[in-house]
């Protein structure tokens, strides 16, 4: 007796994705995706990348004729929005280029830190200066393990980058900051 397919199992997998002629799935990008394309591009990706990341995150939609016509119709608006976004990112890059932040860290007498300074500490220092960036935008070549001045690359997106000056300074004890000297014992 031949087996019959379970209709409920077919529904639980979700809708069938349209395949392109060269394999993969054709999608239209709603938002720019790094290393894939910019808004309005029709891209060909693997089925798993489409179903597990691009579609659920709202970064892409199916590339049907209706969506392609809509993008062609609004291409000028999309380019104007893109230029405005890049100008905004360049302004933020200029602001970061003029900014300098200090991070206090525990260090020994030779200037070596007991721990290290990473992206999280840099983001927190920028938040104190009312600048908001994500940790993945901070591009370090490695953790900062010594006191001193560092120039850190900040990737803002759309190939816009900024250089931020970061001072790693020794932590000051509360009594030293107040100018009080501890009383000597006799």
What pLDDT, in 10s, does the model give residues 139-161? 999 889 999 999 999 999 878 99
Is the distance from CB of 63 to CB of 69 less than 8 angstroms? Answer: no
Query: Is a pLDDT exceeding 90 seen at residue 84?
Result: yes
**Is the pLDDT at 107 greater than 80, yes or no?**
yes
Query: Considering the entire predicted model, what is its pTM?
Result: 0.61
CB 69 within 8 A of CB 40: no
What pLDDT was estimated at residue 186?
Answer: 47
What beta strand segments (E) does the chain contain? 25-29, 42-45, 60-62, 100-105, 112-117, 138-139, 144-146, 148-157, 160-170
Beta bridge partners, 101, equal 166
| pLDDT one-digit tens code per residue, 28-72 | 998 888 889 988 888 999 999 999 999 999 999 988 888 888 888
Specify which residues 25 forms β-bridges with: 19, 45
Task: Say what the pLDDT of residue 10 is.
Answer: 45
- For the chain, which domains are there? 7-73 (3.40.5.10), 89-176 (3.10.430.100)
The size of the chain, in residues, is: 186
pLDDT at 160: 92
Q: Strand, coil or helix: what is 32? A: coil
CA–chain centroid gap for 102, Å, is 22
- In this prediction, residue 177 carries a pLDDT of 53
Least confident of 64-68, 107-111, 173-177: 173-177
């Amino acid at each position: 007796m031949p087996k019959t397919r379970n209709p409920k199992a077919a529904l639980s997998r979700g809708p069938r994705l349209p395949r392109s002629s060269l394999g993969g799935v054709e999608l239209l990008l709603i938002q720019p995706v790094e290393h894939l394309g910019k808004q309005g591009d029709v891209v060909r990706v693997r089925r798993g990348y489409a179903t597990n990341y691009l579609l659920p995150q709202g970064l892409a939609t199916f590339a049907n004729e209706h969506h392609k016509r809509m993008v062609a119709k609004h291409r000028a608006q999309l380019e104007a929005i893109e230029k405005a976004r890049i100008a905004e990112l360049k302004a933020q890059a200029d602001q970061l280029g003029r900014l300098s932040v200090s991070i206090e860290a525990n260090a020994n007498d030779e200037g070596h830190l007991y721990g290290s300074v990473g992206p999280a500490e840099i983001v927190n220092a920028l938040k104190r200066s009312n600048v908001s960036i994500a940790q993945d935008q901070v591009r370090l070549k490695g953790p900062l393990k010594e006191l001193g001045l560092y120039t850190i690359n900040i990737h803002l997106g759309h190939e816009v980058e900024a250089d931020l000056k970061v001072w790693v300074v020794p932590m000051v004890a509360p009594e030293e900051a107040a100018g009080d000297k501890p009383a000597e014992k006799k």
